[in-house]
Structure 1
Amino acid sequence: MKGYSLNEIPEKSARSIRKNCNISLKDAVNIAHNLKGMNLSKAEALLDDVMNKQRPIKYFRYLDSVSHRKGYGPGRYPVRAVKQFKTLIDNVKANAEFKGLDTDSLRISLITANKGPMLKRFTPKAYGRAGANNRDMVHLSIVVEEVEE
């Protein structure tokens, strides 16, 4: 199975992949770290709060000049990246419903953000020169499994 870091995916699970997302890799890594192990409903609530700028994503990596938020520590509100994760969670929820899983008892067992291809663009400068404007794309993947309570 190319594309997942799990050797065996459990039987009562669903998965989804988004490739070539034009978002920040640093934001995506921190969002994925915050969502791992959460219930799907709690993850959706967190992403909604971040989009409304009520609760920040707590940063654990790439902390240079990241401001502290009261009660959370260093964090930001990466709305553009959160929209991609929201779509990813909606897709995996639909896949779980199609497989007949109970969507209220789904837990995120694997979520990754990996570097994808680079977009190479140029910005025109004075005297006929050009400056490089490179942007990394991001691949997102998620696996959720049904947990009996």
Structure 2
Amino acid sequence: MGEQMQAKAIAKNVRITARKARLVARNVKGMPVENALNVLKFTPKKAANIIYQVMRSALANAEDQLAGVDIDAMMVKDVIVNEGPTWKRFMPRSQGRANNIMKRTSHITVILSE
């Protein structure tokens, strides 16, 4: 009776830096799911749409895997954004030089609990 029902979803190798995604993730942590989805829908950042999709996936996982769970009572327990692999590219510069370009990726995990 003391254990909470949890559902989670993970998006790996998402093409956004972890630092930018954490700014959005911090805003929705601890909120009820319905409020968090509304906040994400109207946040004008690329990370908001990605986290929105992962949260919808976690909600679908909860509905599918956890029998008898109240979807309306779900809360965002945690949104974890970790760094993924970095794509290394280069930009040709003058006089035969080259500059590095680091295209960073991240892994986003959303954990919902009742």
Normalised by the size of structure 2, how large is the TM-score?
0.88
Deviation per CA, 1:59-84: give whole Å up to 9, x if none. Answer: xxxxxxxxxxxxxxxxxxxx211111
Alignment partner of 1:34 is 2:27: yes
Check whether the contact 2:14–2:105 (CA below 8 A) recurs between aligned residues.
yes
Considering fraction of residues, name the structure with more helix: 2
Give the whole-Å Cα distance in 2 for the aligned partners of 1:47 and 1:84: 9
Q: Indicate if the aligned counterparts of 2:41 and 2:49 stay in contact, CA closer than 8 A.
A: no
Runs of 5+ consecutive residues of structure 2 not aligned to the other structure: none
User: Aligned residues, how many?
Assistant: 110
Distance (Å, rounded) in 1 between the aligned partners of 2:103 and 2:13: 11
TM-score normalized by the length of structure 1: 0.68
Which one scores higher on RCO, CA 8 angstroms, separation ≥ 6?
2
Provide the residue aligned with 1:102 in structure 2. 70
Distance in 1 between residues matched to 2:58 and 2:110, nearest whole Å = 7
Q: Please give the secondary structure, in 2, of the residue aligned with 1:50.
A: coil
Cα deviation 1:5-39 (Å, max 9, x = unaligned): xxxxx551111111111113222112121111111
DSSP 3-state at the match of 1:81? helix
Name the structure 2 match of 1:44: 37
Q: What percentage of aligned pairs have identical amino acids? A: 29
Computed over aligned residues only, the root mean square deviation of the Cα atoms, in angstroms, reads 1.4
Gaps of 5+ in 1: 1-9, 52-78
